[in-house]
Copies of this chain bind each other. A is one copy, B any other.
Amino acid sequence: MDLQTPLIKDRNCSSCPIRHRAVCATCDDDEIVTLDAMKYYRSFDAGQPIMWAGDRMAFVGSVVSGTATIERLMEDGRKQTMGLLLPSDFIGRPGRDTATYDVTAITDVTLCCFRRDSFEKMVAQTPHISQRMLEMALDELDAARDWMLLLGRKTAREKIATFLMMIVRRSTEGEAVLTTGSKQITLPLTREAMADYMGLTLETVSRQFSKLRKEGMIVMDGKRDITIPDVEALQAETGSDLS
């Protein structure tokens, strides 16, 4: 009876790992029952497109596991990544029927999806959801604006330091806020993907990592695993005020 599609089919909202942070975070029990019936899971392999700019958006959804990027390409191949999508982040825009950005799975990704038309109805009828959507959209807007400062005004070194601190912050979510001491992180992106996110080339990213390593600001345990011996010192390299 149960062939492929292992655990996913059995999942329900009450055991959902992103239940408390996703778009459904503020829904009450009745609303969750409705969403539970509407939802379906989709999986994407690392490297696969989830959505193409210009395509019709048939669904919206939340990242349950894995990492994806929001990006846009220019005709000549230049690429800018506008955001990382981590578990609990929302994909898609109710009220618009074609995607304006490419969304790409960079690790294996599982989404909790809703058909766009049904979800739009649900948003219109459920203040808990539209209010939560607003909250999340405003958070993303703040993040986008912070990134605009990075892209427009920060040096390569400051960009890398800021990026690393963002990873530290995201991987510390839930735990006590960490502003001092050491921290171990795993980079979710290749050098090239980091470059596209920060408006640099992959060579510049690589060089800045080497420089920070030689200076002892970071210790590399493999290409993707990094220890930051002194988080405060790295923070001081970001150029940001300590918000």
Where the two chains meet, the residues of A that have a C-beta atom closer than 8 Å to any C-beta of B are 70, 72, 74-76, 78-80, 82-83, 93, 95-96, 100-101, 123-124, 127, 130-131, 133-135, 137-138, 140-142, 144-145, 147-149, 151-153, 198-199, 239-241, 243
Contacts and interface: CB of A to CB of B under 8 A. Distances in A.
Contacts of A74: 149, 153, 239-241
Interface centre among A76, A95, A145, A147 (most CB of B within 10 A): A145
A243 B80 contact: no
Given A130-B130, A134-B133, A72 B149 contact: yes
B145 A82 contact: yes
7 contacts: A74-B153, A74-B239, A80-B149, A124-B131, A134-B137, A152-B198, A153-B199
Contacts of A239: 74-76, 78
Contacts of A124: 127, 131
